[in-house]
A and B are shown apart, each in its own frame.
With several copies, the nearest count.
Chain A
Amino acid sequence: MSIPVKLEVFEGPLDLLLHLIEKNKVNIYDIPIVEITEQYLDYIKQMESRDLEIMSEFLVMAATLIKIKSRMLLPAPESEEEEELDPRQELVDKLLEYKMFKYVSDKLKDKQEDASRVMFKSPSIPKEISDYKEEIDVEELVGDLTLSKLHEIFTSIIKRQSDKIDPVRSKFGKIEQEEIDLSHIFTQIQEYGIAHKVFYFRNLLESQTTRMEVIVTFLGILELIKLGRIKIDQEYILDDIKITYMASDVITMEEAGF
């Protein structure tokens, strides 16, 4: 798929999704999830964000889309008493809420423009009322606040702060931010595939623990399905995904065309 050379900048995954929905002129209540997910993934592949924080937020949404997509591809359980909720519902609600705030922020912008035409005047207390420096009675302000109360407040702040420090990670010392290399993981999955032929998604994750790595691995799997190099089965919902590697060689990401 061809993508415009200059990528638009989006504030976040919801912003991007809304844009795609509008661009495709589709109903937000009935998002063609397959199409939108594909375009979404195309977009984030083009993103050259060095900012892992931002990138990971886009990736989390990618994973959500993929999850919804896979749930929609599954046949709905037949004899369920309760009617199955549309897997898209939660996302739709989020999108609508976000869209609503985009709408009101536009309204507020107009209001601000109108209001900026109004001028105020700075105080002009006559000089002779020289004692106008508003007296603040500090003693009254402090009131019955005691030192021990102040101490208590400080202690709780410090406690909160040490709670925030993850004791496990903080022991690692300085953590170098790790670049997650999609092409490397892409190759790894295939090498694993050649060695094992049939394996489970969970097997791939054994050595990988960060959320980012899980997401990237999952993206890699999706690419390989698209390329027809693997096939996946999942007998029951939430069951581990069984992967069968069908090719016998390793293809690089460049060769695969991205």
Chain B
Amino acid sequence: MEIKLVEAQIEAILFTMGEAVELDRLAMAIDHDEDTARKIIQNMMDRYEDESRGICIIELDGAYQLCTKASMYETIIKITHIPKKHVLTEVLLETLSIIAYKQPITRMQIDAIRGVKSDHPVNKLLEYNLICELGRLDAPGRPILFGTTEEFLRCFGLQSLDSLPAVNPEKLEDFKLQAEEEAHQLTLDI
């Protein structure tokens, strides 16, 4: 049935646009005159009234828009209050520890330490308010500098960043020596 197809088209357009769409634009898109378009939409509106539908078409000054029915309000409030499960994954923890100990640090420096692009974990940590932007580095491209937030301090029971356990330079030297020793033990077989 041709009319069914047109209804489907109208539904798809209103869904994609989100906002109100003027009758003349709708009519053009479905290749019908405005009168026909209006009649079809009126008809659709009636059918959206069915109690199994959660959305409906409203008319606003000669334009049409899809929206949820007013009676759905409680349900929508409910879903928006059901929290998604958030976890600090291994990736996030790793990134967080680098930022905590190396701040202020740019995203590129984080990438370099981790060996992989870290946009995603950085964005997640920003969303969780565990890190924040501290300003910009005075270097080409003026990259953003990241650091931890007050929220971070509170969650870890720290008074200030100074109370972060230090990674002392000696420890670093140790690592270097270790690596060198390991390298010496290897006979290169080229």
In the complex they form, do A and B come into direct contact, defined as C-beta atoms under 8 angstroms apart? yes
Q: Is the CB of B116 within 8 A of A11?
A: yes
Q: How far is the CA of A209 from the CA of B155 in the complex (A)?
A: 48
CB contacts under 8 Å to A, within B131-159, are 141-142, 151, 154-158
Most chain A CB neighbours (cut-off 10 Å) among B154, B155, B171, B176: B155
A163 to B140 alpha-carbon distance, docked (Å): 11
Which residue in B76, B85, B91 is a CB contact (below 8 Å) of A11? B91
Residue of A with least CB distance to B136: A160
A180: CB under 8 A from chain B?
A: no
Contact of A209 among B82, B179, B190 (CB under 8 A): B190
Chain B residues numbered 141-190 whose CB sits less than 8 Å from any CB in chain A:
141-142, 151, 154-158, 164-165, 167, 171-172, 175-176, 178-180, 182-183, 185-186, 188, 190
The CA of A104 and the CA of B165, in the complex, are separated in Å by 7
Stretch of B2-10, B29-37, B39-47, B95-103 that contacts chain A: B95-103
Contact A159 B175 (CB under 8 A): yes
Whether A53 pairs with B117 at a CB distance below 8 angstroms is yes
Most buried by B among A94, A96, A147: A147
B98 A157 Cβ-Cβ under 8 A: yes
The total of chain B residues at the interface (CB under 8 A) is: 68
Per-residue contact bits, chain B 23-66, to A (CB 8 Å; 1 contact, 0 not):
00000000000000000000000000000000000100000011
In the complex, the chain B residue whose C-beta lies closest to that of A137 is B83
CB of A147 within 8 A of CB of B167, answer no
Q: Chain B: residues with CB nearer than 8 A to chain A?
A: 12, 15-19, 58, 65-73, 76-77, 80, 82-88, 90-91, 93-94, 96-98, 100-101, 113-117, 127-130, 141-142, 151, 154-158, 164-165, 167, 171-172, 175-176, 178-180, 182-183, 185-186, 188, 190
